[in-house]
């Protein structure tokens, strides 16, 4: 009889824990730690637009160093920043931003680029990790 009561008590405890965990409204809507989240109102966010400009400038500097030429010379034609159109962010050791940037090519056509940059505000640092043309305009993958 005592074993039966113990099993029943354990069963009721298990069920009550599961019900209370699943009944919490935030349980289903909780974000994963370290997961990406979409940033809204990108067009009006001056900080994100400046971050996009920084990415294009850093890309241009890298290209200039690799080609060993200055702007306007044959072999190096800098991109012109247009605007940041989409942003996702991820909390890492800093904030990692995944930006979709519209830029103008030297032939005056526009193209989309994916950029990844890590910002560490407490160190006042930014590091461009990737800047590449968008292969599929409907995804963040390059």
Whether 11 has a pLDDT exceeding 80, the answer reads: no
Give the pLDDT score at 72.
52
- Tell me which architecture the domain covering 36-133 has in CATH: Roll (3.10)
C-beta of residue 27 within 8 angstroms of C-beta of residue 19: no
Threshold 0.85, pTM exceeds: no
Pairs from 70-79 (Cβ < 8 Å, separation ≥ 24): 77/105, 77/106, 78/106, 79/103, 79/104, 79/105, 79/106, 79/113
The candidate with the shortest Cα–Cα distance to 94, out of 131, 122, 119, is 119
Give the pLDDT score at 19.
39
Whether 14 has a pLDDT exceeding 90, the answer reads: no
Confidence label for 67 from pLDDT (cuts 50, 70 and 90): confident
Confidence label for 18 from pLDDT (cuts 50, 70 and 90): very low
Classified as helix, coil or strand, 89 is: strand
Whether 33 has a pLDDT exceeding 90, the answer reads: no
For residue 68, the 8-state DSSP code is T
């Amino acid at each position: 009889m005592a074993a039966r009561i113990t099993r029943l008590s354990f069963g009721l405890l298990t069920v009550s824990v599961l019900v209370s965990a699943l009944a919490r409204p935030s349980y289903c809507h909780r974000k994963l730690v370290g997961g990406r989240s979409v940033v809204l109102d990108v067009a009006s966010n001056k900080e994100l637009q400046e971050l996009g400009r920084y990415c294009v400038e850093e890309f241009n500097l890298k290209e200039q160093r690799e080609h060993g030429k200055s702007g306007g010379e044959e072999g190096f034609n800098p991109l012109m920043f247009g605007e940041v159109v989409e942003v996702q962010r991820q909390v890492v050791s800093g904030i990692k931003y995944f930006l979709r940037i519209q830029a103008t090519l030297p032939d005056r056509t526009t193209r989309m680029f994916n950029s990844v940059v890590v910002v560490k505000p407490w160190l006042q640092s930014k590091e461009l990790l990737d800047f590449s043309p968008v292969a599929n305009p409907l995804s963040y993958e390059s």
